[in-house]
């Protein structure tokens, strides 16, 4: 169960400050097409026009029949968490700053097994729903959420890393003189 988010304590200026880093950004052309769909919040995978197989991760040719007739299609977000693991060490600086980090593999109802970031309320064997989002480096990623809403669901640290929820975060309004900027400030107070 994810605990409710508490207001941050006053920062000690002598303590360590987490670095403002971005996740890994290098991806293939096919993965960039996945990112474009994830930016819209759409969960899509490639389907082969020749054999009908669904492809994950995104690729340039079908892994089953070697056809290049792959088309993107919306898929059902339901699945079952097959396995989970917690990373305690990482060669990537972004994840090293945020350890431990949970990842897992989910068997989708439509067939393929996908690798996902895990919400704190998800356990091995649970039914899950998958969301596609962009991370801080602008790359498409998948995250497994509980099948049903849970208490304090939006306070999960992995989910907050993929969203812009302003709860207990600093917000900089750069153009406060415009009517829109003033409306944003009034809404935030």
Domain assignment of residue 9, yes or no: no
State the residue range of the domain holding 179. Answer: 29-188
Domain assignment of residue 41, yes or no: yes
Average pLDDT of the chain?
89
Domain assignment of residue 17, yes or no: no
Predicted TM-score (pTM) of the model is 0.81
Q: How many domains does the chain have?
A: 1
Domain assignment of residue 64, yes or no: yes
* Cβ partners under 8 Å of residue 74, min gap 6: 42, 43, 44
Domain assignment of residue 60, yes or no: yes
61 has a pLDDT exceeding 90: yes
How would you class 74 by CB atoms within 10 Å of its CB: exposed for 0-12, middle for 13-18, buried for 19 or more? exposed
Could you read off the pLDDT of 149-183 as tens digits, one per residue? 988 888 888 888 887 777 888 878 888 899 999 99
Domain assignment of residue 6, yes or no: no
Return the structure tokens found at 102. 């949970």
| Spatial contact of 34 and 16, defined as CB atoms under 8 Å apart | no
Domain assignment of residue 16, yes or no: no
């Amino acid at each position: 169960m994810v605990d409710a988010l508490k207001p941050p304590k006053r920062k000690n200026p002598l303590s360590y400050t987490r670095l403002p880093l971005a996740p890994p950004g290098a991806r293939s052309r096919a993965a960039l097409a996945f990112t474009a769909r994830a930016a819209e919040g759409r969960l899509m995978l490639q389907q082969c026009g020749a054999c009908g197989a669904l492809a994950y991760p995104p690729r340039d040719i079908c892994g089953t029949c070697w056809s290049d007739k792959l088309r993107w299609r919306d898929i059902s977000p339901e699945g079952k968490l097959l396995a989970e693991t917690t990373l305690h060490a990482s060669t990537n600086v972004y994840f090293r700053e945020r350890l431990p980090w949970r990842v897992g593999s989910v068997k989708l109802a439509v067939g393929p097994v996908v690798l996902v970031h895990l919400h704190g309320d998800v356990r091995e064997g649970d039914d899950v729903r998958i969301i596609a989002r962009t991370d801080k480096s602008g790359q498409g990623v998948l995250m497994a959420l509980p099948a049903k809403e849970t208490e304090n669901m939006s306070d999960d640290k992995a989910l907050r890393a993929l969203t812009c929820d302003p709860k207990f975060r600093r917000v900089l309004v750069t153009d406060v003189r415009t009517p829109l900027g003033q409306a944003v400030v009034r809404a935030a107070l």
